A = this chain, B = another copy of it.
């Protein structure tokens, strides 16, 4: 059996998130069906990040074990020929037998995209959170500065989480403006349930002048979701990259 690692891009608009569930078709499921069409095997596809309904991915990673001998260089094209156009396999490589796409992820990068314009975008409506009105970039950046490093992010974790601890390490938290677009880029060793969207919602409160940036320090100390800003809508969020140490 080989253990194969896929790189996957998807538009989350039409799916009930990544992870298999009873009440809707998910991206994990559609990919497993696609793999079955190609390999005639019933596989278990393990994703690095369990993205929610409406959340997109440019670089999701997922591994599965297979007895198929199809070369890794051919697998993306073969899978893409059976998958719907809003899910694309854009890379494939062989990894060691014990490799696990979620447990072995060292770092993930998410990007939350805000369309800051008096009117919403027609073309990009499914890929941005629309925010009219002036935003104070410096306040957002000051707020972000309190969140980097190893901290307890319980205040930024929605209920329903199964995590044992709220402690995560944010390596990078950037607020980048380019014309009408403001991107919040977060790299961390792990993300609690809805953490990227709750952090983005809190920085947005600071940007709107509804919250003093330094209050974010207090929010962390409260360890209570009710003190942070809102969870922003899913369509602005992209799982951009997952990092591993693949050279032992």
Contacts and interface: CB of A to CB of B under 8 A. Distances in A.
A122 B76 contact: no
Nearest to A83: B122
A85 interface: yes
A125 B238 CA distance: 16
A9 B123 CA distance: 7
A119 B56 contact: no
Contacts of A122: 9-11, 85-88
A114 interface: no
Number of copies: 2
A34 to B, nearest CB: 13
A217 interface: no
Interface in A71-86: 76, 80, 85-86
Contacts of A118: 90
Contact of A123 (B56, B117, B120, B121): B56
Contact of A127 (B76, B88, B123): B123
Interface string A99-143: 000000000000000000111111101010000000000000000
A117 B161 CA distance: 37
Nearest to A87: B122
